[in-house]
Structure 1
Amino acid sequence: MRLFSCDFCHQVVHFDNRQCVSCGHRLGFDPQLMAMYALESAGGTQWQLVGRPFETRVFCGNASVDVCNWLVNPGDGNFCVACRHNRLVPDASTPDGVRRWQRIGQAQRHLFYSILRWDIPHPDRAEDPQGGLVFDFVDDQQQPDGTVTVPMTGHDEGVITIRAAEADEVTMEFVRASMNEHYRTLLGHFRHEIGHYIWNKLVRDAGCSEEFRSLFGDEREDYTIALQCYHMDGPRPGWLENYISPYASAHPWEDFAECVAHLFHIVDTLETARSFGVAIDPPGEGEEMAAEVAFDPYRASSAHQIADAWVPLSIAINAIQRSMGQRDTYPFIVSPSVFPKLDYVNRLVRACANVKEAS
């Protein structure tokens, strides 16, 4: 995620900021221009973009509960390009519901930033009734007998379900520990599940299964049985050499979705490092451990270019986390056999259209 600046006073601002801490101007993100803008009231619900005379916007309807800071062109509907995909949302009449929705919305906007940068197709359900992208953020349901029905996070033909309770840190950590996972976040859920959606749109529906199967395996393998085997027996032997994560070894679909999620993780983090001018050059480690992100990660020519910058940076980030007594931010190893998979995903998303510049 890149850094932005206030158009009025040039103070550095961040993607999730609502107000400039220097000049006090209200801020909003314009997904068409891929930029944060300082705003001045234009009367009623309309706001004028500072530095762009006569251009007005309105806030996404979810700004009313401080869930979203994205902008919409007047007359283009009530919701922004991300929120218009939402079907079920947490109960905004309760403080817990609003808090969960705010955290979920933050992760969703980070997902959509990458979708928009790569220009990945994202028709909604009105545009594509059978496979359009839609999100259900589902609360746990207490049954009359006192038991609790827990919704499963997952994907089904464009419908991405996220368990809203995992927006609570205690619940998220409990699930992570009980499933013996090293990494589990809301943003990780979004990025993994969008991987299944991307497979539907850019592999299956595009009739491009041959190269996919040569890298990931035959997805026609029984999915239910494969997951049962994974949960009973654990990851495949030798998974560390052939997969990006243990779960990726469960089935070709999960391998692909995990590679998509990791590409999103890596590229967005590299863009953040580039924005801050981060360079890694530890003494005595040799050139292979030196890295500077001197390229736009969203325009990377190959997974090797991405990995050459990412491996040293991720090692440094993990070392910093350990210095603070925290778990590794990126507790994974990108083995050489995974590079062709990441390269395939990188080529797939870059082929969607011209990569959009972040203004």
Structure 2
Amino acid sequence: MKAFRCRSCDNPLYFENSRCVSCGTRLGYSRDERLIVPVDDAGRYTAADGTPWWVCRNLTLSGCTWLAPVEGGQCFGCDLTRTRPNDDDAVGLRQFWAAERAKRHLVAELDVLGFPVVGKHQDPVDGLAFDLLSSVAESVTIGHADGVITIDLAESEASHREKLREQLDEPYRTMLGHFRHESGHYYEWQLVGTGERRARYRELFGDETRDYQAEIERHYAEGPPAGWEASYISGYATMHPFEDFAETWAHYLHICDTIETASEHGLTTVGTVTSFRHFRDVVVGIWVPLAIALNMINRSMGHDDLYPFVIPGPVLDKLEFVSTLAGAARRDGADA
């Protein structure tokens, strides 16, 4: 995440700021400029080309500070949300705030890395949408199907996540992590395709035509196979090639975002991971030393490791493959 600063007083800003705490300037996030910009008392911002923008109508509903193209309208990020809690669901609406925050973080990173974000309101067949559902009254299963990512809003509650994390023996569980993982299923569907790219995918992750339901049942009955740590980023990744890819994709996003944040705040001299020819060089030369340092900092504060994972050689190969998909997406778009 970039280190944003107020254009009016140069005070540091967080990505979620709707107002500068130093000078009081109202703020909005310009997705086109990838910057936090000042808005007037009416919530309006005029871009350099003269185009007017307004702060999203969902500022008070979900904390959204993104700019919308019409006054009283909602932004692109909010357009991606297909379903949200009912207005009378106080618990769900409180949890919705945290989910929308994580979703905006995901979309901003995808923009930086060059992955196309096309909503179902733009492309009903291949577009992306989110169902952010309250499990107050009914059970919700997190997942992806045909471009729709479903998130259980209860995952915004730390006590709920920690209970499930312990039950499932997971080293890590966050709302942003769910968004990243499930987006991996979407981008595999959109970007891996056929031909040489699919062949390489199968070399690395396995045959995705294996019966998914049968593999789920096997995984929860038997657990991950012995020695899985030598070839997978997590035990969950051993379930099926779909899950292996999604887990690897999520870690690619974890690594890219954390390195950018560290660089923006002076903790490393690396500007952007996209400047490296091979992503494995980023992991070995930048990420592993940084992750060790961050883990030790967390331990110094009495917390668990920030990044409780080991990256073996086969996972480096998988991460390298995932890193090539942004370029593939740009080429595919140019050929369309």
**TM-score under structure 2 normalisation?**
0.92
1:284-334, CA deviations, whole angstroms, 9 ceiling, x for partnerless residues?
Answer: xxxxxxxx4423124432222221101011111111111222111111001
Percent identical pairs in the alignment equals 36
Equivalent pairs counted in the alignment come to 330
What residue in structure 2 maps to residue 119 of structure 1?
Answer: 114
Secondary structure at 1:351 match in 2:
helix
What residue in structure 2 maps to residue 305 of structure 1?
Answer: 281
1:5-56, CA deviations, whole angstroms, 9 ceiling, x for partnerless residues?
Answer: 1111111212111111111101111111111112223x5xx5135x959553
Asked if the contact 1:117/1:298 (under 8 Å) is kept, the reply is no
Q: Distance in 1 between matches of 2:294 and 2:273?
A: 18
Q: Distance in 2 between matches of 1:196 and 1:175?
A: 21
Q: CA deviation at 1:351?
A: 3.2
Q: CA deviation at 1:109?
A: 0.6
Secondary structure at 1:184 match in 2:
coil
Q: Distance in 1 between matches of 2:78 and 2:57?
A: 9
Q: Is 2:318 the counterpart of 1:341?
A: yes
1:278-317 maps to which residues of 2 (within 5 A)? 278=267, 292-307=268-283, 308-317=285-294
Q: Distance in 1 between matches of 2:116 and 2:99?
A: 22
Q: Which amino acid aligns with 1:125?
A: K
Q: Distance in 1 between matches of 2:103 and 2:276?
A: 23
1:172 to 161, 167, 177: 161
Secondary structure at 1:352 match in 2:
helix
Asked if the contact 1:259/1:342 (under 8 Å) is kept, the reply is yes
Asked if the contact 2:39/2:45 (under 8 Å) is kept, the reply is yes
The answer for unaligned runs of 5 or more in structure 2 is: 332-336
What residue in structure 1 maps to residue 204 of structure 2?
Answer: 215
Q: CA deviation at 1:66?
A: 4.3
Q: Which amino acid aligns with 2:277?
A: S
What residue in structure 1 maps to residue 170 of structure 2?
Answer: 181
Q: Which amino acid aligns with 1:116?
A: D
Q: CA deviation at 1:337?
A: 1.7
Asked if the contact 2:260/2:270 (under 8 Å) is kept, the reply is no
The answer for unaligned runs of 5 or more in structure 1 is: 143-148, 279-291, 355-359
**Higher RCO (C-alpha under 8 Å, 6+ residues apart):** 1
1:1-359 maps to which residues of 2 (within 5 A)? 1-41=1-41, 43=42, 46-49=43-46, 52=48, 54-74=50-70, 78-140=73-135, 142=137, 149-204=138-193, 208-278=197-267, 292-307=268-283, 308-353=285-330
RMSD between aligned alpha carbons? 2.1
Q: Distance in 2 between matches of 1:257 and 1:108?
A: 16
**TM-score under structure 1 normalisation?**
0.86
Secondary structure at 1:204 match in 2:
coil
